Amino acid sequence: MSIASGGASAATDLDNDVAFGQKAQLQTKAYRTSMSLAMNDTSMLSPAAATSTAEIRKCFPALERTHNGYPVAYFDGPGGTQVPRTVVEAMNNYLYHRNANTHWAYPTSEETDAIIDSARSALADFLNASPTEIVFGANMTTLTFHLARALSRGYKRDDEILVTELDHHANIAPWRTLERETGVNVRMVKMIPETGELDWNDFSRQLTRHTKLVAIAAASNALGTINDVRRAGEMAHSLGAQIFVDAVHYAPHGLIDVRDWNCDFLACSAYKVYGPHIGILYGRHDLLSSIDFPKLIPAPDSAPERAETGTQNHEGIAGAAAAVDFLASLAPGPARRERLHAALAQLHERGDALITRLWNGLHEIESVRLYGPPPGTARTPTIAFTVNGVPSIEVAEKLVGRGVFLSHGDFYAMTVVERLGQTPHGLVRAGCACYTTSEEVDRLLAGVRGLSTAR
């Protein structure tokens, strides 16, 4: 088989071309080491403390489904995870017993206000933010378009926005729209196809004093590559630019810390983290309070509500909070943020073992080509691959016969697929979640081996 993987060069020193390459290598190595330590830090966790995978699986009714005589193995988590029973119960409870609109003087309305406030606190713990910095909306895409439109009111012609080739197009199209509407210039940072990583040399070249915003993913939803968003933020802020982080793919796999990352904005989606279809936007409180958001005159004018449009999905908000509490319930600790840290650290360790098993198994199949960084580097438990001579949709269809559900195509990361030379068929993508088992990984591998020998 052939593999597109390896280490990427990077650089932040714009003034010293002689030391440029050496400094880039040192920075990339240091980042990989720091990310490996951070995501594997289980110091808060005793070996017996975390909930076992077998116990976790009991929380998900979807895992009772069978197909063609097999229990279904859901490897489609990067496109949307399954939902634990407690999340659905929280949504049902709201709709059955507390359904009302907000800010009125009767019990169900007051209870709705309390549920929304409580959800802001839960998501604030999830992101290490303040409750007044948590905005809810239909999904990450809608929230990003809304934020882009609002920010554009302060931009002028020839201002610049930086996006990357590694990104989902929900973090590209909203900014591209501003080119037509306001005359700003959108510059795109290249990825390195051979490694699946961001080209930090190109990032340094593209970032200028005209840059007003850097839009970057915390992790690639197509390849699993984790980006050094803290570094991107430091570079952006050094030139007076803001940074927007798409954390949709990263959120179920690593602890987000908007303070440590020093990001101005961050968006994620509850349905990628065992919750319902609803989006979350973090914005620094001073920015949410001052940005000229499109809004109705009678609507609240204080953050974060001033950034929200219309009546919200209250049951979805209740479900999003329940999803955070579900994750926090998987490990002990005195506070929710500490429990989240412990749970996500343990889940990362398990996911790393599973993705290593999957990567190594696919590596042994001659007709398979893998894309993105290998195990042992800064990555999520998501793998992209192709089978020579077999379109990605056919691979997915064949694996369904073994009860294996996974995704195929471009996953709205069109530029990644184009740069890898895999249009029009795209890639096959398999992602591990908190409920994934080694038996399911082995079943996926057996199915791909069967495809290879059948041709």
The pLDDT tens digits of the residues spanning 87-119 come to: 999 999 999 999 999 999 999 999 999 999 999
Instruction: Look at residue 50 in the predicted model and tell me its pLDDT.
Output: 79
What would the mean pLDDT of 239-251 be, rounded to a whole number? Answer: 98
Q: Which parts of 239-382 fold into alpha helices (H)?
A: 258-261, 285-290, 314-328, 336-363
What would the mean pLDDT of 76-96 be, rounded to a whole number? Answer: 98
For the chain, the domains span 35-83+336-453, 86-328
Instruction: Look at residue 454 in the predicted model and tell me its pLDDT.
Output: 65
Question: Pairing state of beta strands 66-67 and 265-269?
Answer: unpaired
What would the 3-class secondary structure string for 116-179 be?
HHHHHHHHHHHHCCCHHHEEEECCHHHHHHHHHHHHHCCCCCCCEEEEECCCCHHHCHHHHHHH
Instruction: Look at residue 452 in the predicted model and tell me its pLDDT.
Output: 73
CATH 3.40.30.10 matches 86-328? no
> What is 35-83+336-453's CATH superfamily?
Aspartate Aminotransferase, domain 1 (3.90.1150.10)
Please write the tens of the pLDDT for every residue from 171-205. 999 999 999 999 999 999 999 999 999 999 999 99
Instruction: Look at residue 49 in the predicted model and tell me its pLDDT.
Output: 64
Higher pLDDT, 108 or 50: 108
What would the mean pLDDT of 292-304 be, rounded to a whole number? Answer: 96
Written as six digits, the tokens of 103 are 């800010």
Q: How far apart are CA 443 and CA 448, in angstroms?
A: 9
Please write the tens of the pLDDT for every residue from 31-44. 333 333 333 333 33
What would the mean pLDDT of 305-322 be, rounded to a whole number? Answer: 98
Written as six digits, the tokens of 231 are 């570094």
pLDDT at 312 over 50: yes
Instruction: Look at residue 455 in the predicted model and tell me its pLDDT.
Output: 60
Instruction: Look at residue 35 in the predicted model and tell me its pLDDT.
Output: 36
The mean pLDDT value of the chain amounts to 91
Higher pLDDT, 408 or 45: 408
Question: Pairing state of beta strands 242-246 and 211-217?
Answer: parallel
What would the mean pLDDT of 245-261 be, rounded to a whole number? Answer: 98
Instruction: Look at residue 44 in the predicted model and tell me its pLDDT.
Output: 36
